[in-house]
Amino acid sequence: MRSILVTGAAGFIGSNFVRMLVNRAEPVKLVAFDKLTYAGNLANLDDLLKKDKHLVFVKGDICDQSTLERVWDEHGITEVVHFAAESHVDRSIISSGPFIHTNVVGTQVLLDVARAKKVDKFLQVSTDEVYGTLPYDQKEVMFTETTPLEPNSPYSASKAAGDCLVRSYFHTHHMPVLTTRCSNNYGPYHFPEKLIPLFVTNLMEGKKVPLYGDGLNIRDWLYVEDHCDAIWTVLNKGRFGEVYNIGGNNEITNRVITETILREMNCPWDQHVTYVQDRAGHDRRYAIDASKIKNELGWTPKHRFETAIKTTIQWYRDHEAWWRNVKSGEYLKYYETQYVNR
C-alpha cells in the first residue's frame, strides 16, 4: 500500500487534502505530520483520526532529521506531499526568521531524508507568489510555469528558495519530484489571519474589516477542494521535474471580495469597512495560466466562486467554536502588532 507523508497536515490546505482522501476512501496510508505551530490545529483532523484506521498523526518538525527518519521507517513512507510552511505574508514582514527556517531549511532536511530513503515521489506544494507581481492593466499577461521567479515578500522568497532546492534535487540527484504553484485558496479550516476568514469572523464578532491600501489589489481565488484535487492529480499523473500552475481563472479585487462578504452577511460597507495603511511591498496582481495542468493532466476547477464563497461563510457560521478558539491566545498578540495604530 502507498504510504504518504503529508507534512503540514494540521493546517488549512493539508487538513483539507487529508479529508478529501479519507472521504474518497483512497487506498493509501496517510501519515499526517505537523509541528502544530500557531497555524496547526489538531481539531482540523480529529473526526478523521477517529474514523480512519489508515490515518495516523505524528507531531514533529520537518527541520528535525532524526524524527523524520524514525517516522519514515515506522510507517514505510513511499511518497511525500509537502505542505508544511510558515504561510502568512504579513507575519513574514514582521519577522522572516521562522520562514527561512521552515520553508528553506525544513524543505532541505525533508529532501535529504526523502533522498536517502529513496522516496517514490516528492510533491512540493508551492504558491503563485514566487513569480512576483503582474501588470495591472495588461489582463492578457498571466503567470505561466516559465515566468521567472521574482518573489517580493520574505514569505514568497522563502517559498521560491524551497522550490529551487526541489528543482536542484531533480537535476543533481534525479529525485522524483513534482512542484505545484497555486493561487489564493479559500474554504473551511482557513486560519482567520488571512483575508476571507478574517473578514467573515470579524463581522461575526461585530468588528470592522481592515482593507489594505486602496483595496484594488487582485488575487486569483480557488476553492480549497479544487486545489487538493489538483495536487492529487499531479501526484498521480504529473511528470517528474515539472512545475504545474493551479488556478481558478477567477481574478477579483479585494474590494469586490469585501463587498461580496458584506452583502452575504447583511453588513453595510460604511459601518464595517476601514481602510488601513497598505502592506509593505504589496503585490498588485496575481493571475494564473493553468493551461498546462488542464491540457496535460485534464484538471479543471469544479467549484464556482459565487456558490463556494457562500458555502465558506456558512461553514464559519456553523463552526463558531472552532474559530473563536483559534482567535485567542497568541492570535490576539499578533492582531495587536498587525492592526492597532495602522
Rounded Cα distance between 336 and 338, Å, is 6
Contacts of 311 (CB under 8 A, 6+ apart): 187
The residues facing 136 across adjacent strands are none
CB of 39 to ligand NAD, least distance (A): 4
Determine which one of 34, 61, 79, 128 is catalytic. Answer: 128
Task: Output the residue with the shortest Cβ distance to ligand NAD.
Answer: 11
The residue ranges of DSSP E strands in 195-316, in sequence order, are 209-212, 218-223, 243-246, 251-253, 273-276
CB of 242 to ligand TYD, least distance (A): 24
Using the rule CB under 6 A, is 226 a contact of ligand NAD? Answer: no
The 162-191 contact track toward ligand TYD, x by CB under 6 A, reads ----------------------x-------
The 196-215 contact track toward ligand TYD, x by CB under 6 A, reads --x-----------xxx---
Judge contact between 157 and 201, C-beta under 8 A: no
Residue nearer to ligand NAD on the CB measure, 83 or 272:
83
66 SS3 class: helix
The 148-187 contact track toward ligand NAD, x by CB under 6 A, reads -----------x----------------------x-xx--
Judge contact between 224 and 184, C-beta under 8 A: no
Residue nearer to ligand TYD on the CB measure, 168 or 337:
337
Using the rule CB under 6 A, is 132 a contact of ligand TYD? Answer: no
| DSSP line for 149-205 | P---SHHHHHHHHHHHHHHHHHHHH---EEEEEE-EEESTT--TTSHHHHHHHHHHT
For residue 257 the three cell numbers come to 471580495
Residues near ligand TYD, by CB under 6 A: 89, 184, 194-195, 198, 210-212, 217, 219, 254, 279
